[in-house]
């Protein structure tokens, strides 16, 4: 029986500084905009650093996979995230803050759309009132 060489299982993962500059997430965001980046690249920007043997892009891909995507990651508790290899309290705090900002943006846009739909509904239900108001102004 032969023992497996532990180094055979080790895969080389280049550090971010070893990746061509044009392929690094921060530089891609700067040149092409956030919409051009994958979810894992955007997450990598928030995480900032990887862990020993795993660059930040692979770390981001791994945790997205572990939590079933961005939605699962957002729903995870602080302690669940903190227990994940490569994610300490500082990174969990950054992620939770980013998810909260996203939630607040979504809520504010939803509130705007609701107000707009009520206004549109009012306009469609009261066209005669609007016309009479305008004709009174013209006099």
Q: Is position 96 within any domain?
A: yes
Q: Is position 124 within any domain?
A: no
CA distances to 13, 39, 47, 68 from 61, rounded to whole Å, are 13, 9, 11, 11
Using one digit for the tens of pLDDT, what is the confidence trace for 81-105?
999 999 999 999 999 999 999 999 9
Q: Is position 13 within any domain?
A: yes
Q: Domain with 69 in it: what CATH number?
A: 1.10.150
| Domain limits for position 94 | 6-105
- The closest of 31, 63, 34 to 47, measured between CA atoms, is 63
Q: Is position 134 within any domain?
A: no
Task: State the pTM of this model.
Answer: 0.69
Q: Is position 90 within any domain?
A: yes
pLDDT of 44 higher than 80: yes
**Among the ranges given (85-89, 104-108, 129-133), the one the predictor scored with the smallest mean pLDDT:** 129-133
Total number of domains constituting the chain:
1
Q: Is position 44 within any domain?
A: yes
Burial profile 50-87: b = 16 or more Cβ within 10 angstroms, e = fewer = beeebbbbbbbbbbbeebeeeeebeebeeeebeebebb
Q: Is position 133 within any domain?
A: no
| Local structure of 87: helix, strand or coil | coil
Confidence of residue 6 (pLDDT cuts 50, 70, 90): very low
**123: CB partners within 8 A, 6+ apart:** 130
């Amino acid at each position: 029986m032969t023992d497996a060489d532990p180094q055979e299982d080790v895969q080389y993962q280049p550090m971010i500084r070893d990746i061509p500059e044009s392929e690094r997430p921060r530089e891609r965001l700067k040149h092409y905009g956030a919409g051009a980046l994958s979810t894992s690249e955007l997450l990598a920007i928030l995480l900032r650093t990887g862990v020993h043997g795993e660059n930040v892009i692979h770390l981001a891909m791994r945790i997205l996979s572990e939590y079933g995507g961005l939605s699962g990651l957002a729903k995870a508790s602080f302690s669940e995230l903190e227990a994940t290899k490569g994610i300490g309290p500082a990174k969990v705090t950054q992620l939770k803050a980013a998810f909260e900002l996203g939630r607040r943006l979504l809520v504010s846009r939803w509130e705007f759309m609701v107000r707009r739909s009520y206004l549109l509904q009012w306009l469609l239900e009261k066209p005669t009132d609007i016309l009479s108001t305008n004709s009174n102004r013209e006099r």
